[in-house]
Amino acid sequence: MTLHIPFDNSYAALPDGFFARVQPEPVKAPSLIAVNAPLARDLGIDGLDDPNLAAVFAGNAVPGGAAPLAQLYAGHQFGQYNPQLGDGRAVLLGETVGTDGIRRDIQLKGSGRTPYSRMGDGRAWLGPVLREYVVSEAMHALGVPTTRALAAVRTGEKVVRERPLPGAVLTRVAQSHLRVGTFQVFAARGDTTALQTMFDYAVDRHYPDATDPARFLDAVMHKQSALVAQWLSLGFIHGVMNTDNCSISGETIDYGPCAFMDSYHPETVYSSIDRFGRYSYAAQADMIVWNMAQLATALLSLMPDPEAAVDPFTAQIHTMPEMIRAEWLTRFAAKIGISDPKPEDAQLVTDLLSLMQVSETDFTNTFRGLVDGTARDQFADPTGFDQWAVGWQARLDGEDDPQGRMRSVNPALIPRNHRIEDMITAAIAGDDAPFHRLNAAYANPYEDDESCNDLRLPPRSNEVVHATFCGT
Ligand code: AMP
Ligand code: MG
C-alpha cells in the first residue's frame, strides 16, 4: 500500500466510556467516486496513486495507524432530549495534524453498524453522500467553517430506504466531532468525572485559553454566532440544528436536509421532518442560542457551586443574541458594500430584504446583482428597489471599493437544490459527470465564469425542490 496517512490519535487515548472500538464493516464491491487531493495534501496524506483507495475509503482495508472507534454522544432532537445517540453509522479512523498544525478527524460515514446504531443499518445511500460531498466543499470554498469531504466511494451494495438504493461511504474530515451532545451525555448521567475529562480534552484541542467553563462557553458562543451569521448571509438553511449536530469547534456539521434558499423568505423550510419550522432560515439565530443554553446547562455541573452559577451562565447566554446581531450586521453590510457598519445601516439591509421578500426575488442573484447592476432586474416591479437604491448609493459615498467588497461576499454560485437533485439522479444511473462538474464549479463561487452561467439560474417552476430529506 503506497497510501500513507500520518495518524496521530488523541481521542482513542481517552479512557473507557467515551467511545466503542469498532471496525468498519467491509462492503461487497467498493469503487472510488472521488478523492479530494488538495485536502489530502493539507492533511499530510501521501500516496494517492494507491490502487487500494476504494478499499480504504470503503472501510474494507483499515490503514496502518488507524484506531477505529465510534464516539458516544447524546442530544436534543427537535427539542426532545435523547440520552444516547452516538456514531450509529460512522467510524472515526483517527486524526492527523495537518500542514497548518491543526488536528483533524478522519471519519468514515456509512461504514456499517456500531454499538450506537439502534434500529439503523449503519449505512448511507449515494444521494446524501454526494450531497454532503458537494455542499460541504462548496461551503468551504464560500469561506464558511465546515467539515470537509475527503473521499466518496460506492459500496456495490444496495441499502433499503423507501426503495433499494445504491450504497456509498463518505470520508468526512472535521476539526473534531465534539458536539454539544458530547457534553450533554455525561452531564445528564451525572458523571462529572467523565464530563471534566471531556472538558479538558475539548479545551486542549480547541480553546487552550478557555480554561474555565465560562470562558469556554463564551468561546463556543462566539464561534457559533459567527457561523450562524455566515449561514444567514448566504441563504443557507442547515435544517437539523439538533444539539448533536452542533459542533464545539464552530464548524458546520451534518449535511442532511440542508439547502440554500432560492427566492428569499425568512420562514423558508425545506426539511421534510421539520414540520413546525423549528429550524427555518430565520429561526436559526434563536436555535443556536437555544443550543448554547444546553451547552451551558451541561457545563454547570463542572462549577464548584452549580446552583450559584445558574444566574451568571444565564446572563452569559443572554449576551448571545447581540453577538449574533453584530455578526449579522457586519456580514449583511458587506453584502451591500459597507465596510464598517453603523447601527442605522441595519435598516438599509432590512429594507432591501423586505423588498426581496415581497417580490420573492432570488436571494443569491439579487445580492450578486448589486455588483454588476442587475439587481433591479430581479424585481417584477423595480419601483421600491429604485427608491431604496437612492439611499443606498448615498450611503456608499466615500466607501472604498464597495464593488470589490460585494463581489467577495456575494457569491455568483451556490449549490442550488435542483442542481444537487439532478446530480444525484445522474449518479444513481451511473453518471458521475454532473457530480464532478458541480465540484469544479463550486470551488470558485465568487468568480464570473461564463461556462457556469447555467448554474446561476434559479429553478424553473417545474424544477423547484420543495422538500429535502435526512440522509438516514
Ligand atoms: P443525523 O440525523 O445524521 O444527525 O443522525 C442522528 C443519529 O442517528 C446519529 O446517532 C446517527 O448515527 C444515527 N443514524 C442516522 N442514520 C443511521 C443509520 N442508517 N444507521 C444507524 N444509525 C443512524
Ligand atoms: Mg448527526
Catalytic-residue membership of 397: no
Contact 112 CB / ligand 1 (< 6 Å) = no
pLDDT tens for each residue of 142-156: 999 999 999 999 999
Instruction: Give the span between the Cα atoms of 29 and 124, in whole angstroms.
Output: 15
Look at residue 387 and tell me whether its pLDDT is greater than 90. Answer: yes
* Entry pTM: 0.98
What is the structure's pLDDT at 396?
Answer: 98
User: What is the whole-number distance in angstroms between the Cα of residue 402 and the centre of ligand 2?
Assistant: 39
Residue 452 Cα to ligand 2 middle (Å): 32
Q: Quote the pLDDT of residue 472.
A: 62
Q: How many angstroms separate the alpha carbon of residue 397 from the centre of ligand 2?
A: 46
Atom from ligand 1 closest to the CA of residue 159 = 19
- Pocket of ligand 1 contains residue 87 by CB under 6 Å: yes
Q: Tell whether 399 is covered by a domain.
A: yes
Distance 89 CA to ligand 1 centre (A): 6
Instruction: Provide the number of structural domains found in the chain.
Output: 2
Regarding the beta carbon of 122 and ligand 1, being less than 6 Å apart is answered: yes
> In this structure, which amino acid lies at residue 184?
Q
The answer as to whether 436 is a domain residue is no
- Between the CA of 254 and the centroid of ligand 2 the distance, in Å, is 5
Determine, yes or no, domain membership for 193. Answer: no
Ligand 1 neighbourhood includes 254 CB (under 6 angstroms): yes
Say if ligand 1 is within 6 A of residue 182 CB.
no
Q: pLDDT over 90 for what percent of the chain?
A: 97
Domain end call among 146, 174, 202: 174
Q: Which three cell numbers stand for residue 385?
A: 428597489
Q: Cα separation of 374 and 366, whole Å?
A: 8
In single-letter form, the type of residue at position 55 comes to A
Nearest CA to ligand 1 atom 14: 88
Q: In this structure, what are the phi and psi dihedrals at residue 233, rounded to the nearest 5 degrees? A: -70, -15
Answer whether 142 contacts ligand 1 (Cβ < 6 A).
Answer: no
Whose C-alpha lies nearest to ligand 1, atom 11? Answer: 88
Q: Determine the atom of ligand 1 nearest the C-alpha atom of 121.
A: 20
Give 367-381 pLDDT, tens digit per residue: 999 999 999 999 999
Residue linked to cell 470537509: 148
pLDDT at 469: 83
Surrounding residues of ion ligand 2, Cβ less than 5 A: 245, 254
The last residue of one of the domains, among 373, 392, 409, is: 409
Q: Which atom of ligand 1 is nearest to the CA of 123?
A: 19
Nearest by Cα to 457 from 439, 433, 441, 436: 441
Closest ligand, as measured to the CA of 90: 1
* 88 Cβ inside 6 Å of ligand 1: yes
Q: Which ligand is nearest to the CA of 129?
A: 1
Mean per-residue pLDDT of the chain = 97
pLDDT at 2: 93
pLDDT at 468: 87
**Pocket lining: 117 vs ligand 1, CB cutoff 6 Å:** yes
- Tell me, yes or no, whether 437 lies in a domain: no
Mean pLDDT of 31-49: 98
- In this predicted model, what pLDDT tens digit does every residue of 314-358 receive, in sequence order? 999 999 999 999 999 999 999 999 999 999 999 999 999 999 999
* C-alpha torsion sign, points 350, 355, 358, 361: negative
Show which of 174, 200, 224 is a domain's final residue: 174
255 inside domain: no
Q: Output the residue whose Cα is nearest ligand 1's atom 22.
A: 88
Residue type, 441: A
Over residues 188-228, the pLDDT tens digits come to 999 999 999 999 999 999 999 999 999 999 999 999 999 99
Say which range, 77-86, 240-249, 400-409, 459-468, has the weakest mean pLDDT.
459-468
pLDDT for 253-309, tens place per residue? 999 999 999 999 999 999 999 999 999 999 999 999 999 999 999 999 999 999 999
For residues 251 and 173, the answer to whether their CB atoms sit within 8 Å is: no
- Lookup: cell for 268: 423558508
Evaluate whether residue 277 is within a structural domain.
no
Q: What is the CA(112)–ligand 1 centre distance, in A?
A: 11
Q: Do residues 18 and 9 touch, judged by C-beta distance below 8 A?
A: no
Residue nearest atom 7 in ligand 1 by C-alpha distance: 85
Q: What is the dihedral of CA 99, 103, 109, 114, to 10 degrees?
A: 150
Q: Which domain holds residue 351?
A: 329-409
Pocket test for ligand 1, best of 80, 89, 131 (most atoms within 8 A of CB): 89
- Inform me whether the pLDDT recorded for 453 exceeds 90: yes
What's the 3-state SS for the chain? CCCECCCCCCHHHCCCCCEEECCCCCCCCCEEEEECHHHHHHHCCECCCCCCHHHHHHCCCCCCCCCCEEECCCEEECCEEECCCCCCCEEEEEEEECCCCCEEEEEEECCCCCCCCCCCCCCEEHHHHHHHHHHHHHHHHHCCCECEEEEEEEEEEEEECCCEEEEEEEEEEECCCCEHHHHHHHHHCCCHHHHHHHHHHHHHHHCCCCCCHHHHHHHHHHHHHHHHHHHHHHCEECCCCCHHHCECCCCECCCCCCEECCECCCCCCCECCCCCCCCCCCCHHHHHHHHHHHHHHHHHCCCCCHHHHHHHHHHHHCCHHHHHHHHHHHHHHHHCCCCCCCCCHHHHHHHHHHHHHHHCCEHHHHHHHHHHCCHHHHCCCCHHHHHHHHHHHHHHCCCCCHHHHHHHHCCCCCCCHHHHHHHHHHHHCCCCHHHHHHHHHHCCCCCCCHHHHHHHCCCCHHHCCCCECCCC
According to the model, what pLDDT value does residue 51 have? 95
471 pLDDT exceeds 80?
no
222 within a domain of the structure (yes/no):
no
7-31 mean pLDDT: 97
Ligand 1 atom 5 nearest Cα: 472
pLDDT the model gives residue 9 = 98
Give the per-residue pLDDT at 196: 98
Catalytic, out of 105, 244, 254, 262: 244
Q: Is residue 180 part of a domain?
A: no
Q: What is the mean pLDDT of residues 85-96?
A: 98
N-term to C-term CA, the chain: 33
Average pLDDT over residues 226-232: 98
Query: Who contacts 26 (Cβ-Cβ below 8 Å, separation ≥6)?
Result: 58, 59, 60
CB of 179 within 6 A of ligand 1: the answer is no
Ligand 1 pocket, residue 84 CB under 6 Å? no
Q: What is the mean pLDDT of residues 424-431?
A: 98
